[in-house]
Amino acid sequence: MTAPPLLEIRGLRTVFGTRSGDVVAVDGVDLAIAPGECLGVVGESGSGKSVTFHSVLGLVRPPGRVEAGEILFDGRDLRRLRPDELRALRGREIAMTMQDALTALNPAFTVATQLVETLVAHDVGMRTGRAARDKAIEMLRLVGIPEPERRIDDYPHQFSGGMRQRVMIAIALACRPRLLIADEPTTALDVTIQAQVLDLLAEMRATLGMGMALISHDLGVVAERCERIAVMYAGQVVETGPTAEVVAAPRHPYTRGLLRSIPSLEDPDRPIEPIAGQVPDPSTLDAGCRFRPRCPIAEAGCATPIGLGEASPGRRARCIKAAA
């Protein structure tokens, strides 16, 4: 990376207090996104992907709390900002789309109200009324809603799932943020619509020149659209690097497992191998490698703590055999 990163997360640690002690959901995560870059964040449910980016926006609610780490956006540490400064940043500079497009729009208001509200709240050079409404219609057109002049006065339940996801993207992009966090943008959608929404996101990123974090549990989704990729497991980043290289030659056995567990178009006869075992309960983790119990190449040395080491130029992996 040559340009200074737009977003840099260093040593992020987010915990949730429970009756039986703190559960560490995100443990020492380091990530960086350059301006205009798309970072894919992949991992199973509960691997800490969403919590990481909720922490970035200060959206983690009690009993959860961000315990340590730096979150640098444009060189400013978001954790040191006052709540009102952070609030002004949300939506304006960093926007986020939610996992479930079907419930992420307020059912009580028309799309027009919700879009205009966002525009007016962040005052993108417009006070009220006509200008904001025209801008809202323009945004809907941009995300590919047909007949935006008419549909803008519809309620969310009158849109299909894919259309609602588009509306949500329109709202998130309304203020031209510099970073978009797309949290599982395609999970609630069927496959043909998924591709449309991903294309839309890629197009928007190119048009607006914004950085993007694409969170997904689907390696296939991320592999095609992102320059770089970060694989998360049990609250830690286990491998990062340019997507093409990581997919072609994964250095961490978990990434390898993920790749083997999806069917291949080039070699349809290759058997699909699921990763044996389950994601560990975060309250039972020790200091050693967290993938160890499920790892096919685990050995005695895996019980010692291991950092995210450089595996080759531009690539890092959290495995003692990563260099091999």
Question: Do 94 and 79 contact (CB within 8 A), yes or no?
Answer: no
Under the binding rule (CB under 8 A), the answer on residue 118 touching other proteins is yes
Of 5, 43, 48, 91, the one binding other proteins (CB under 8 A) is 91
Under the binding rule (CB under 8 A), the answer on residue 178 touching other proteins is no
Under the binding rule (CB under 8 A), the answer on residue 126 touching other proteins is no
Under the binding rule (CB under 8 A), the answer on residue 70 touching other proteins is no
Q: Which stretch binds other proteins (CB under 8 A): 30-38, 73-81, 85-93, 124-132?
A: 85-93
CA distances from 228 to 165, 174, 295 (A): 24, 26, 24
Of 31, 38, 39, 57, the one binding other proteins (CB under 8 A) is 57
Under the binding rule (CB under 8 A), the answer on residue 171 touching other proteins is yes
In angstroms, give the least distance from the CB of 163 to other proteins: 10
> What backbone phi and psi angles, to 5 degrees, belong to 47?
-85, -5
Under the binding rule (CB under 8 A), the answer on residue 74 touching other proteins is no
Of 6, 12, 98, 116, the one binding other proteins (CB under 8 A) is 98
Under the binding rule (CB under 8 A), the answer on residue 92 touching other proteins is yes
- Residue 200's SS3 state is helix
In angstroms, give the least distance from the CB of 266 to other proteins: 37
Q: What is the DSSP string of 209-220?
A: T-EEEEEES-HH
Under the binding rule (CB under 8 A), the answer on residue 165 touching other proteins is no
Enclosing H/E stretch for 255:
helix 253-260
**What is the size of the binding site for other proteins (CB under 8 A)?**
38
Under the binding rule (CB under 8 A), the answer on residue 99 touching other proteins is yes
In angstroms, give the least distance from the CB of 286 to other proteins: 33
Q: Answer whether the bond into residue 63 is a cis peptide, omega within 30°.
A: yes
> What backbone phi and psi angles, to 5 degrees, belong to 198?
-65, -40
Q: Which residues pair with 84 in a beta bridge?
A: none
Q: What is the DSSP string of 96-163?
A: EE-S-TTTSS-TTS-HHHHHHHHHHHTTSS--SHHHHHHHHHHHHHHTT-SSHHHHTTS-GGGS-HHH
In angstroms, give the least distance from the CB of 129 to other proteins: 18
Sorted by sequence, the CB contacts under 8 Å of residue 53 that are 6+ apart come out as 41, 96, 181, 183, 213, 215
Under the binding rule (CB under 8 A), the answer on residue 213 touching other proteins is no
CA 202 to chain centre: 14
What is the CB-side half-sphere exposure of residue 142 using CA atoms within 13 A? Answer: 22
Of 51, 95, 140, 226, the one binding other proteins (CB under 8 A) is 95
Q: Which stretch binds other proteins (CB under 8 A): 13-21, 72-80, 165-173, 197-205?
A: 165-173
Q: Which stretch binds other proteins (CB under 8 A): 2-10, 128-136, 168-176, 241-249?
A: 168-176
Q: Which stretch binds other proteins (CB under 8 A): 22-30, 117-125, 259-267, 284-292?
A: 117-125
CA 197 – CA 214 distance, rounded (Å): 12
CA 177 – CA 298 distance, rounded (Å): 43
Under the binding rule (CB under 8 A), the answer on residue 100 touching other proteins is yes
Which residues make up the interface to other proteins (CB under 8 A)? Answer: 57, 59, 62, 84, 87-92, 95-100, 103-110, 117-118, 121-122, 150-151, 153-155, 158, 168, 171-172, 181
